Structure 1
Amino acid sequence: MAKIGDLVIAGNSAQMANPAFMRELEQWVRFNPRSAMEMGDGLFSAASGNPSLPTALGRIAFDHVISAASENDRYARQIASSAGLAIFIGDEATSAHWIKVGQACQRFALEATRLGLKLAFINQPIEVASLRPELARLIGTAKRPDLVLRFGYGPTLPYAPRRPASQVLSS
């Protein structure tokens, strides 16, 4: 877990050093319940244990408080306190296999919820493409890792709102 945690931190550092990534991340953060409900999507700050703030103050805090060092410390603490990590691997990099990986992840998440476990994605070693081969090596596979989650017991945090399926699916 510690070595995978190191990859999460390396990936987080790379992402936070990327101005385009940081601009996109800030656009997706919803700093308070009103903004989260109005937008119906995004990353509700309270869902990750951060305080709820007025949007203007949240943007200032984002620019001046959030740093690679602070986020890396938070990820290190979270991973160290987790019961385990789950890594989902597809046989191939194709849509059909990504769907199977998603289905396996969904089943895992539903069973974890039934057991009272909490989970969170820590996909930085997947999202930073140069780290994916190292993750595969660490877990002893020649196949492509597609998702990484941490799981364990923890507090119940507010849920992030989601748009209705009818708004995001087309027939």
Structure 2
Amino acid sequence: MANASKHIWVQIDFEETKAFRSALFDAIPMRQCSRSEYDGEPLTEKELEQLQDAGHGDGVSVLLMTDAAQKDLVTDCVAKGNEAQFADPAWAHELKSWIRFSGKEAVRSGDGLYGPVMGNPDVPRWLGLLAMKGTFSAKNQNKKDHRHIQSSSAIAVIYSETDDIPHWIEAGRCYQRLALQAAALGLRAAFINQPVEVVKLRPEFAQAIGIGNRRPDLIVRIGHGPEMPRSLRRSVEDVLG
């Protein structure tokens, strides 16, 4: 007997209400993933409380790690993730195909990861690919991620009580609020997700940071840093048309 397809339905109810303008709404144009080194200055207790509140949701919590030992632990787990990902040819191919090395290339595609957002120069694609041949390695990425993690004021881990679709959605909503709260406070944020992108490392990372069998969904580093160039994005009409 063939297995029947399994459909999972999520019901979303809307209701009429009045518009409410908040600090998080005003932070929408400022929010970005800032892939740069931060200044390492500690966050205030009030800032940490605001970030904690913003990252909390229904069955989803946020763990904020700020001391040196915790940063070292995250650095080690990220390094394991880099080793696994750089050893995967499919992952490497996808990453290279997503990078837009020059402004002209970014404008032409309207999407992708624009090189200067990572601190790289604006160069033709052929030159960017040539440069990557000499620098594209887990070893070099580990050095960069070490600097980025150690320069951060806090590492936030958003984690769920249950591994299912409603909690995945809720985790995404919690991240958006966390990132907007950081932007509203004048802070920068960027993903450092390798320990949760590599499936076999996810439970190991969960145990290491003390959340047991809960599911770590997203890892975000937060701190004071410079505004970076922004990647281009296609319009909604281009994507859905």
Secondary structure in 2 matching 1:146: strand
Q: CA deviation at 1:48?
A: 1.2
- Mapped to 2, the partners of 1:112 and 1:155 lie a distance apart of 14
Describe how 1:54-93 pairs up with structure 2 within 5 A. Answer: 54-93=124-163
CA distance in 2, matches of 1:117, 1:158: 16
Three-state SS of the structure 1 residue aligned to 2:190 is strand
Q: TM-score, normalised by structure 1?
A: 0.94
Cα distance in 2 for partners of 1:88, 1:152 equals 17
Q: Select the residue among 230, 233, 236 that pairs with 1:159.
A: 230
Letter in 1 for 2:164: T
Aligned to 1:4: 74
Which structure has the greater CA radius of gyration? 2
1:58-107 CA-to-partner distances (Å, cap 9, x unmatched) read 11112222221111100001100000111111222222111100000000
Unaligned runs of 5+ in 2: 1-70
Question: Residues 168 and 87 (structure 1 numbering): CA distance in 2 closer, same or farther, change over 3 Å?
Answer: farther
2:102 pairs with 1:40: no
Q: Relative to 1, partners in 2 of residues 1:13 and 1:168: Cα closer, same or farther, differing over 3 Å?
A: same
| Counterpart residue type for residue 151 of structure 1 | I
Question: Structure 2 CA distance, aligned partners of 1:168 and 1:111?
Answer: 28
Q: For 1:27-77, what per-residue CA distance to the aligned partner results, in whole angstroms no more than 9, with x for missing partners?
A: 001101111121121111111111211111011112222221111100001
The one-letter code matched in structure 2 to 1:94 is D
Partners in 2 of 1:169 and 1:12 — Cα distance?
34
Q: Secondary structure, in 3 states, of the residue corresponding to 1:50?
A: coil
Partner residue in 2 for 1:113: 183
Measured in 1, the distance between the counterparts of 2:237 and 2:169 equals 19
Q: Write the distance in 1 (CA, Å) between the matches of 2:208 and 2:168.
A: 21
Alignment partner, residue 29 of structure 1? 99
Fraction of identical pairs, as percent: 44
Q: CA RMSD in A?
A: 1.4
142, 146, 159: which one pairs with 2:217? 146
Q: Distance in 2 between matches of 1:56 and 1:159?
A: 22
Cα distance in structure 2, aligned partners of 1:125 and 1:24: 18
Count of aligned residue pairs for this structure pair: 170
Flag the 1:122–1:169 CA change in 2: closer, same or farther, 3 A.
farther
- Residue 169 of structure 1: how far off its partner (Å): 5.1
State TM-score, norm by structure 2.
Answer: 0.67
